[in-house]
């Protein structure tokens, strides 16, 4: 029964590849996994995300879990933003769009006006 009260968090980020004008997508994180959403596809949950001391490391593939994972390393550049480079050396910028929570036993997500996690 303890699992019924476990809190699950999900974060949505604006993911911008600065090497390609207008290349903006949404990257979701939940339980240290990633779901990448572009205008043409949504990957399943796969890969990993790690935050530590103002840095974020992403390991995912925009084509989904059946492809080799690639890495992106970012550093905090503001309260809700990170900047860094991907596996090809392209500049990537991520901005937090929304923060959601739910109880493990519930289906409904609630958007939370999050305090800064600096």
Spatial distance between the Cα atoms of 83 and 28, rounded to a whole number of angstroms: 16
Q: Exposed (0-12), middle (13-18) or buried (19+): which is 107, by Cβ within 10 Å? A: exposed
DSSP state of 88: T
Alpha helices in the chain (DSSP H): none
Spatial distance between the Cα atoms of 82 and 57, rounded to a whole number of angstroms: 10
Instruction: Going residue by residue through the chain, which has 118 residues, state the pLDDT in tens, using 9 for 90 and above.
Output: 455 578 899 999 999 999 887 778 999 999 999 999 988 889 999 999 998 999 999 999 988 889 999 999 999 999 899 999 999 999 999 999 999 999 888 888 998 886 554 3
No. of H helices and E strands in the chain?
A: 0, 9
CATH topology of domain 9-111: Lipocalin (2.40.128)
């Amino acid at each position: 029964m303890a699992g019924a009260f476990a809190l699950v968090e999900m974060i949505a980020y604006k993911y911008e590849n600065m090497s390609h004008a207008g290349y903006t997508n949404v990257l979701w994180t939940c339980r240290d996994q990633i779901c990448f959403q572009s205008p043409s596809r949504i990957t399943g949950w796969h890969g990993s995300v790690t935050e530590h001391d103002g840095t974020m490391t992403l390991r995912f593939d925009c084509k989904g879990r059946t492809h080799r994972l690639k890495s992106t390393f970012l550093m905090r550049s503001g309260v809700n933003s990170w900047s860094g480079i991907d596996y090809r050396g392209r500049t990537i910028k991520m901005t937090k769009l929304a923060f959601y929570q739910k109880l493990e036993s519930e289906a409904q997500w609630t958007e939370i006006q999050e305090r800064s996690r600096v």
